[in-house]
Structure 1
Amino acid sequence: MNYPSYVFYSNQNSTEFFFESIGSKGVINKVIAFQETSFAGIYNLALGDINPLTNEVDDTVVTDNGDTEKILATTFQIVNHYFSLFPHHQIYFSGNSPARNRLYRIAINHSFYALDSIFELFGVMNNELEPFVSTRPYQAFLIRKK
């Protein structure tokens, strides 16, 4: 996936990655956090904005900064980097709405061949995991390194 992305940095244990979204609404500090789930080896990916007043992460906000493609490309770069550090982890993610999940499905479809060459891609529907199908609406997604 060779799209422009933002420069990012991580915390010491590489569970949080930080970058700046630069767009029509200015500079917005973003974070991608990998959090262990109750399932062994599966880590939740959370993407959110850092509130400049409270320093808390909000993963429900719709930033609409006009740089969605660059944020998705940065997320891909971070996921790829994360897998280079933790190749046996699996990453689970879902949007906070059906519209956000649709956006993620479209993004996966758009770069499917590049993603499929290095990741195993799955969709989750009604708690059932299946190989990713481009036309199916999913409630969540799971990826792992090939």
Structure 2
Amino acid sequence: MLLEKYEYKAEDSTLLQYSFESTGPNGNIKKYIIYTYFKANDKHHFNLGFGDWDEEQQTLSDLTVSNNSDREKILFTVADTIFQVTDQYPNHKIYIEGSTLSRTRLYQMSIAFHLNEINNLFVIEGQLNNYNWETFNKGQNYRAFLVTRK
């Protein structure tokens, strides 16, 4: 996958925080990607958090819609950090869920579009509405995703 991405920097490698700036018609918008550790069913996971940085509030907003005409570039930048994290923690799963149903659907469409390339490097699972997990299938709607490095 040789898609265009933003250059990002590690804000704190021990906390797995990354930042970059989206550039587009609405100016430069600082974005943050934060991986938070948790354990479930005796397995190690990271929750992938992502959103716009609110400089005034000093917080991350995962509900802001910036409309900077660079959605694919942003998604690929976030996806690229998954490589970094799974290189460092190969036995951890990455949990991904959108802050809204439409964002989860956006993630699902992007995964489906790039599934052939993704499957070469990762195992993708989708969480069904009954909270069961299955191997990601195009055309199925999911609540969340688990990504594991092969």
Question: Which range, TM-score by smaller chain?
Answer: over 0.9
Structure 1, unaligned stretches of length 5 or more?
A: none
User: In the alignment, which residue of structure 2 is the partner of 1:31?
Assistant: 32
**Pairing 1:102–2:105 present:** yes
Give the distance between the partners of 2:4 and 2:119, measured in 1 at CA.
Answer: 19
Matches within 5 A, 1:62-101: 62-101=65-104
Contact 1:22 1:28 in 2 (8 A): yes
User: In the alignment, which residue of structure 2 is the partner of 1:46?
Assistant: 49
Counterpart of 2:47 in 1: which secondary structure? strand
**Pairing 1:21–2:25 present:** no
Give the distance between the partners of 1:38 and 1:67, measured in 2 at CA.
Answer: 33
User: In the alignment, which residue of structure 2 is the partner of 1:56?
Assistant: 59
For the aligned residue pairs, the C-alpha RMSD in angstroms reads: 1.1
Counterpart of 1:114 in 2: which secondary structure? helix
* Identity across matched positions, percent: 29
Offset, 1:38: 4.1
What is the TM-score when the length of structure 2 is the normalising length?
A: 0.93
Runs of 4+ in 1 over 2 A off after TM superposition: none
Offset, 1:65: 1.1
User: In the alignment, which residue of structure 2 is the partner of 1:112?
Assistant: 115
Structure 2, unaligned stretches of length 5 or more?
A: none
What is the TM-score when the length of structure 1 is the normalising length?
A: 0.95
User: In the alignment, which residue of structure 2 is the partner of 1:140?
Assistant: 144
Matched residues, number: 146
